[in-house]
Every structure is written in C-alpha cells, then in structure tokens.
Homo-oligomer: A and B are copies of this chain.
C-alpha cells in the first residue's frame, strides 16, 4: 500500500495507461471549463463512460488529478528550459524565461490551479510542495534553476551561489501565488512584477561583490545556513 506519487503514474498494462489518461484529459478539460469545484467526480466518471470506482482506482483523490497536471508541466518545463539555456548564457534572461515559460504553461488552467495552491498552505497535506512525498518533484523543479545557473554568465562565487537554485524556486512560488491572485488583464501585473523584481535581484547580486558590503553578505550567509531549507 501507500504508493508514492511516481509509482501511481505507472499502471501495469497499456490499456490501463490509456484509461488513466482518458480520465486525466477529460477531467482537465472539464476543470478548465467549469472550474475545479464545480466538477464532480461523478460527472467526470460519466463523461468517461465509467464508474466512479474506476476513477478512484487511478486517482486517490480529486486533487491528485490536478497534481498530475503539475507533474506533466514539470516535465515539459524541463524540456523547454533546456532549449532556452542553449540559446543564451545570460543568467537573468535564463531565470526570467524559466519562470515565464512556467506561467505560460499554467495560463490556460489558471482558475483550476488555485485548487493546487490551497494545498501549499497545508503543512500536513501529502501533495504540498513542501511535503516529504513531493520531495522528488520539488528537487526536479529546483534542478531546473540549478541548470539555469550552471554554465551561465553569473559571476557570483562562494557559499550563497549554492543556495540560489532553491531560492529562485521559492521566488518562483511567490510569483505564481501573485499570478494566481492577479486579476489584471492577461495577468500583466505579474509579468511586470517578475521583470522588475528580477532586475533588482540581479542588481543586488552584482552589488554583493563590492567589498564595502561584506557585512550584508555575511548576514545573508548566516541566514541561509541557519535556516535549513529542506
């Protein structure tokens, strides 16, 4: 019992694979149209010409369907960013594009994603981005930022550099949270926030090499070492 998220993704037979995907795609389409809460599991099953039990055979909970969407985009995100990283060595551009791509992937499903982000506020939830169970996914997401930094033109050396991938991932979470709440047309406020805040972040990073600012840098290192981000 108690399969991990990854194990659940690997049904035994091709037929099962197909069924699982059918449920997934159907549900997603319905969520996109009517929103997560408005769609019932009974409706999803009926739309797939199956019994409720079948849906629950593949997805432990309704939320797990949305979580699977997240896993999918995660995969795509990895591929898309790798292309970008080949095109440019500039860190700021790499990070900016990385997050922009994520938002673009999410865009058509924005309303449904709040169902996923509610989970982030619940420390006990299996699917929380901070939970043990989603550790693997989280680390893959952080790795994308690691790749963005490796082989880039980022001059920064020393301890803080190692924390950057995790910090950017956290930053990305913040941007997404803002984006989900962003009611401006096409969420352009979020894009502005992204652009402008990245500008400041990299100004500060460049600044951090000035010898007179050793003190702040020391404080930052202390903070990061003490506050184990795990």
Question: CB within 8 A of A189: which of B130, B207, B215, B228?
Answer: B228
The 4 closest A-B pairs by CB, nearest first: A117-B121, A196-B223, A118-B121, A118-B118
In the complex, A6 has a CB within 8 A of chain B: no
Q: Once the chains bind, are B223 and A193 in contact (CB under 8 Å)?
A: yes
Question: CB within 8 A of A123: which of B119, B181, B200, B222?
Answer: B181
Kindly state the separation between the CA atoms of A24 and B79 in the bound complex, as whole angstroms.
51
Copies in the complex: 2
Encoded as 1 (CB less than 8 Å from any B CB) or 0, chain A from 211 to 229 comes to 0010110011011001110
Q: Which size bracket describes the interface of A in this complex? A: 35 or more
Q: Which residues of B contact A197 (CB under 8 A)?
A: 223
Q: Is the interface of A mostly helix, strand, loop or mixed?
A: helix
**Measuring CB to CB, which residues of chain A are less than 8 angstroms from any residue of chain B?**
114, 117-124, 128, 130, 177, 180-181, 183, 189, 192-193, 196-197, 199-200, 203-204, 207, 213, 215-216, 219-220, 222-223, 226-228
Given contacts A114-B121, A118-B121, contact A199 B180 (CB under 8 A): no
